[in-house]
Copies of this chain bind each other. A is one copy, B any other.
Amino acid sequence: MAHDDVHPVSLNCGDCPIRHRAVCARCDADEIDELENIKYYRSFEAGQTVIWAGDKMDFVASIVSGIATLTQTLEDGRTQMVGLLLPSDFVGRPGRSAAAYNVTATTNILMCCFRKKPFEEMMERTPHIAQRLLQMTLDELDAAREWMLLLGRKTAREKIASLLSIIARRDASIKPLAGSNRVTFDLPLTREAMADYLGLTLETVSRQISALKRDGVIVLEGKRHVTVPDIDRLLMEAGDDSDGGFLI
């Protein structure tokens, strides 16, 4: 079923879109050369599973393009997303042989992979990699804690508004049309994936999106394309502190 690598890809690190944000961000020219030699690319189509929790995982990787998710499940099927992987995010844990979570491509993705052994050896010798990985892991931990507040204490409406804010923020940082407080973007997640992210059912997600639409907080064209006429209004709905760090 899984036939990845349909279109084998090659890319020079110099031209890589995530060169300055990924785990290699701090590496100098020599170090990049070394990484260049051990890297390889893999691509997955939307919906494909990259790896199952518990499976042997002999590589680590950076997301080059597309979106993937980390999910955890209880035996009875209840599913919780525990990570949303965007371009430049890191997959896998040095020093661990099995995957701890399911990794799934929600859009077509391209990953820059390193076999675990050589990568670990290089990490030992290369503080720049370990330093960057520490920084990224601390950022992820902060994001996870923000997420815990959402899961534990926010209402369904606030959860939806928070998720839309996060996506809007990310898109704003890519195409910063500053000045205006109007934002437009595509939802990269299905209703079900949103539900798994937010600890809700997909019906509740659908209802709350409809409610935000009815109340004029968002405008929908089709099911996936969202326009936020007033981003401050959305941030209020998300229930965070005043500015929510949106402008930082």
A83 beta carbon closer than 8 Å to chain B: yes
Q: Out of B101, B138, B152, B239, which one reaches A199, CB within 8 Å? A: B152
**Interface pair B140/A141, CB less than 8 Å apart:** yes
Contact with B along A127-150 (1 / 0, CB 8 A): 100110111011011101111110
A100 within 8 A of B: yes
Residues of B within 8 A of A100 (CB): 142, 145
| Any B CB within 8 A of the CB of A95 | yes
Answer whether residue A241 sits at the interface, using C-beta atoms and an 8 A cutoff: yes
Name the residue on B nearest A135 (C-beta): B95
A49 at the interface (CB under 8 A from B): no
Q: B148–A80 contact, CB under 8 A?
A: yes
* Integer count of this chain's copies in the complex: 2
Q: B residues within 8 A CB of A147? A: 148
Contacts of A135 in B (CB 8 A): 95
* Contact present for B72 and A149 (CB under 8 Å): yes
Question: CB-nearest residue of chain B relative to A101?
Answer: B145
B-facing residues in A147-189 (Cβ within 8 Å) = 147-149, 151-154
Q: Range of interface residues on chain A? A: 35 or more
CB distance from A154 to the nearest CB of B (A): 8
Whether, in the assembled complex, A209 has its beta carbon less than 8 Å from a beta carbon of chain B, the answer is no
User: Is A74 an interface residue when CB atoms closer than 8 A count as contact?
Assistant: yes
Closest to A79 in B: B153
List chain B residues, Cβ under 8 A from A241: 75
Residue A240 interfacial (CB < 8 Å): yes
A223 interface hit (Cβ, 8 Å): no
| Interface of chain A residues 54 through 99 with chain B (CB within 8 A) | 70, 72, 74-75, 78-80, 82-83, 93, 95
Q: A199 — nearest CB in chain B belongs to which residue?
A: B152
Residues from chain B with Cβ under 8 Å of A138 in the complex = 93, 137
| Chain A to chain B contacts (Cβ below 8 Å), 9 pairs | A70-B145, A74-B149, A74-B239, A80-B148, A83-B145, A93-B138, A100-B145, A127-B130, A147-B148
Interface on A for B, CB 8 Å cutoff?
A: 70, 72, 74-75, 78-80, 82-83, 93, 95, 100-101, 127, 130-131, 133-135, 137-138, 140-142, 144-149, 151-154, 198-199, 239-241
